[in-house]
A and B are shown apart, each in its own frame.
Chain A
């Protein structure tokens, strides 16, 4: 089955730790995205990638980092510089960023809690 997987489903972090969230897709999509969702709010874009070895900051990139070494993988690192990291993190992909093909499909998400 084609789809997007994220791991882990739940993650607990101590203050001062960096943690990495995994996102893998086998849809052969070029574009990938990371969002965070806080209660009662819309999704906010952290980073996006149009193609391998390229990524751009979204609206709330501070305290986060990403890499795109393979087309199917787009891991997100939440660094200790992120002051309020407790949230629901969602990875998505789309065929392209071109408007006719930019419907986004989401992975199941990772819930990160800072202890």
Chain B
């Protein structure tokens, strides 16, 4: 079993749709959780950290479920510019940070 697993997609959605990604992790000692966005042939960019209480940043909402060991990302009112690969990242603290392989999203007009 991979330490961090994501559905690779692709998710194809129309503009304005709501789309959700899930990510599961295997290490119950994990402490920090993040979502990154990566455009084609570019570097990953931090989208948001994920806190136990859940957090929202505009159209993006992230949630953490420690009991079931998964995190989620919800994107509302999808824009064409949201098309990218979304990376789930989990850290057990220190330098042990695991990057998921990513979920590809295509938003179409």
Contacts and interface: CB of A to CB of B under 8 A. Distances in A.
Interface of A: 31, 33, 35, 40-43, 45, 48, 50, 56, 58, 88, 90, 97-100, 102-109, 111
B34 to A, nearest CB: 7
Interface string B71-97: 000000000000000010001011101
Contacts of A33: 95
A71 to B, nearest CB: 17
A99 B31 contact: yes
B98 A106 contact: no
Contacts of A43: 44, 87, 99
B46 A105 contact: yes
A30 to B, nearest CB: 12
Interface residues of B, number: 23
B18 to A, nearest CB: 26
Contacts, number: 55
Interface in B1-58: 4, 8, 31-32, 34, 41-46, 49
B32 A102 contact: yes
A103 B98 CA distance: 12
A40 B38 CA distance: 12
Contacts of B4: 42
B97 A45 contact: yes
B95 A99 contact: no
A31 B91 CA distance: 15
Given A42-B87, A48-B95, A99-B93, A108 B42 contact: yes
A107 B65 CA distance: 31
Given A42-B101, A58-B95, A103-B46, 5 more contacts: A90-B44, A99-B91, A104-B46, A106-B43, A108-B42
Contact of B101 (A41, A98, A111): A41
Contacts of A109: 42-43
